[in-house]
Chain A
Amino acid sequence: MKDVEMKMLERAKALLESGEVARVIGWKKGDFCFDPAPASFETVEELDNFVYDYFCGANLSKYLIQMSKKEGKTAVFLKPCDTYSFNQLVKEHRIKRENVYVIAVECMAKLDIEKIKAKGISMVESVEVVGKEVKVTSAYGVETLYKPDVVLTKCATCTKTHQVKDEEIILHERPARDVDRFEEVAKLEAMTADERFAFWREQLSKCIRCNACRNVCPACSCVKCVFDNPASGIAAKANDDKFEEQLFHVIRAFHVAGRCTDCGECSRVCPQNIPLHLLNRKFIKDIDNLYGEYQAGETDEGKTPLTSYTEGDAEPNDVMNGEAK
């Protein structure tokens, strides 16, 4: 990872120095080894705080909605999964593509500090990754963890490869992974309706309506969300059991269906660790089954299953009765 970081830094410096871009979006060092924050860098001096490591899990693509409207070009580092969100935003005309310089970078699966702390480790001082081993040094000693146990949920089943055209790439060769992202969805489908209702009720009852899932979601790019409009008669912040438990997250999943790239940011940012991505994955799986395999964000153009009509489309009745192909 250190070599990737060096290359990124080199490119960021060159781009800023040459004036080719006005700013670079990346991550800056935090107070600990595990809390880098998204940041924009406008000068070479500011890059002193630049960092790229196993905790740079945030998807930077949504920041481009604002940044690409600024004066001058913006360079951005996108991980393979982030490039899908980027393409989708370009396709929806939310990003001014000509103002963005994309550099696709290696990911190697990011770590989740909460999962590391859940192993009973606190006062973390440094984290080192070697293959599948994560060596965590804390004030209480050194512990070695198995990496797949402590990666971000979104990284655990990721098989994405970068999808941007005509831009720079800083990647290692990566072996194909044999994981099934629909495994958890299949488990939910296997439940009875009552069991499934109980599962979601239990999970969604934790929701505090902080709206972090919505605000981080690259597919939620409305200038003004309907839930933020007081004239709509509903309040985005009122934590009323019935509404938020049963409706808010389901409505949101419907709104992003067909456009959600499965970047998994919703689950990463949830302060109550609600597995929100499973709602979206259920829709992705259904779309695959009803309209043929489709991955949102694979390209930045073309038709999408839910916004185009073909004669072979599943009939609503068939979908409702579970009789579609």
Chain B
Amino acid sequence: MLKIAKERLNELYAKINESMGLFIPIKRAGEVNYAVWGEGKEVSLETLKTVKSPKNMFFPQTENMMQFKTEGKNIEIVDIREEYKELRPFVLFGVKACDYKAIEVLDKVFLADPVDTYYQNRREATTIVTLACSRPEESCFCGVFGIDATAPTGDVTTWLDGEYLYWQVNTEKGKALTALVKDLLTEGGEKEVASQQETTKTVLEKLPFANLDLSRFKPENLNELFEAKEWEEMSEACLGCGTCTFVCPTCQCFDIRDIKTNEGVLRYRCWDSCMYSDFTQMAGGNNRTTQLQRFRQRFMHKLVYYPSQNDGLYSCVGCGRCVNKCPQKLNIVKVIKTLGGKNND
């Protein structure tokens, strides 16, 4: 294990930034989100939950896909992916265990056949440095999904305490990154990390949502869950906004649209939300016309549809962002407790 003193972290960031891009939680206008590092930026590794998850790095909220340049009767197609060939490799720094697991969920969607090359380009250019949690809070429930918040993987795993950032190499990519910053790192830290993990684990065990029971959420219960009368009551206060989907690290839906530009047409995609009234609108209209149906879709997808297609892997990682951010305090935990059977009472 390696380590670096906390007050030298800026040197570490600067060193990485010499040859790679660096995305890290940065405080801007009062809120912490992943952003490009630069001198003078206020890094906040201590922030437990960034508002937006790091999925933005591989799957930006809005992304240009191609351009159609028109001149007279000629149409020139500009493949924007060409630019990515020059993409500078970058480091995603400070990813928590839940968010790291979420990347696995996204990979199963975007890297499955047919591969989403826009996502793949960014994903392959990235080295991921994870950061273990040391002070989880009441809205956290990653343990329910088998995630160990004290030992995330990634290319490099780090732990932070009052004095040092501890550094453990996991992969070849991680080794290459470590070689780049080796002058700043010294040996040691096993004992400190083990003791932090032990303390954190006692907190994790006591979290209010630590014992949620997911056993009812399986494919064979699909119809029964779908027909549950409780959806009406659960969705009644839903505003139909996209907060839960946009702060969610695993939500992956997008819309593709064309916009007229001075040169022709630009095709872009942007995050979409199943909570929105125009979601998956087709020529014949929309197959979900009420907020109840939209609300049910989101949670059925997380807890039943996705796992039934991905060997039981849930597409919720228990990050708790929706628990904190839903304007009207509706969230997936309330759904699990309502429909998940008596073990959740």
Contact = CB atoms under 8 A, between A and B. Distances in A.
Interface string A103-118: 0000000000010010
A299 to B, nearest CB: 27
B239 A212 contact: yes
Interface residues of A, number: 46
A228 B277 contact: yes
A237 B245 CA distance: 12
B19 interface: no
Given A32-B208, A40-B236, A237-B242, A272 B270 contact: no
A238 B278 CA distance: 13
A39 B150 CA distance: 37
Contact of B51 (A209, A233, A272): A272
Given A208-B52, A210-B246, A237 B255 contact: yes
Main secondary structure of the interface of A (DSSP, over half): loop
Interface in B200-230: 203, 206, 208-209
A212 B327 contact: yes
Contacts of A230: 278, 281
B337 A237 contact: no
Contact of B241 (A216, A238, A240): A216
Interface string A206-220: 101111101110000
Given A235-B255, A238-B270, A268 B327 contact: yes
Report the interface size class on chain B.
35 or more
Given A36-B329, A206-B29, A123 B243 contact: no
Interface string B296-329: 0000000000000000000000000001110111
Interface in B20-38: 28-31, 33
A161 interface: no
Interface in A7-61: 30-32, 35-40, 58
A99 interface: no
B329 A271 contact: no
A235 B241 contact: no
A273 interface: yes
B28 A239 contact: no
Interface in A196-232: 202-203, 205-206, 208-212, 214-216, 224, 228-230
Interface of B: 28-31, 33, 48, 51-52, 61-62, 135, 137-138, 203, 206, 208-209, 233, 236-237, 239-243, 245-247, 255, 257, 259-260, 268, 270-273, 276-278, 281, 323-325, 327-330, 333-334, 337
Top 8 closest pairs, chain A to chain B, by CB: A269-B327, A122-B137, A212-B241, A238-B270, A215-B239, A38-B237, A37-B329, A210-B242
Interface of A: 30-32, 35-40, 58, 63, 114, 117, 122-124, 139, 202-203, 205-206, 208-212, 214-216, 224, 228-230, 233, 235-240, 268-269, 271-274
